[in-house]
Amino acid sequence: MNADNVEISEVVIGAAMKVLNTLRPGLDEKLYERALVIELRKRGVQCEQQKAHEVFYEGELIGTLVPDLIVAERLIVDPKVVTDFNESHVAQMIGYLNITGLKTALLLNFKRAKLDIKRVSQSQNS
């Protein structure tokens, strides 16, 4: 992971911690997502929410993938409220990385008082 992605990851994690400390655990993940967008924008970080990416097979459109957040055009961020991250969460992020061409994703779990973070990269696909 390059230095830009490390730096933006640190900003996202700091913003997510502030959101969790402010809102506390127990809410719907879309509320954390929206609050995270507000907090990132307050910190001067560009953020796209629910941007659709077309998926093609053999040159034909087969559907779209919609990552929750793309931050600074470099990082996919997926807020969750789950007991634990599982293989399906990681697989979904790898799919998003493959389709978007981005290199890194962050899964953020707002389920507990302590933010749970999982970094996913395209290299996990091999």
Question: Which domains are seen in the chain, by residue range?
Answer: 3-125 (3.90.320.10)
Tokens linked to 118: 């999982």
Half-sphere exposure (Cβ direction) of 42: Cα atoms closer than 13 Å: 12
What pLDDT, on a 0 to 100 scale, did the predictor assign at position 3?
56
Q: For position 123, what pLDDT does the model report?
A: 73
> Quick one: pLDDT at residue 70?
97
Tell me how far apart the alpha carbons of residues 103 and 125 are, in angstroms, rounded to a whole number.
11
- Euclidean distance between CA atoms 10 and 38, whole angstroms: 16
Q: What pLDDT shows up at residue 2?
A: 56
**Sequential pLDDT tens for the chain (126 residues):** 555 667 999 999 999 999 999 999 999 999 999 999 999 999 999 999 999 999 999 999 999 999 999 999 999 999 999 999 999 999 999 999 999 999 999 999 999 999 999 999 987 654
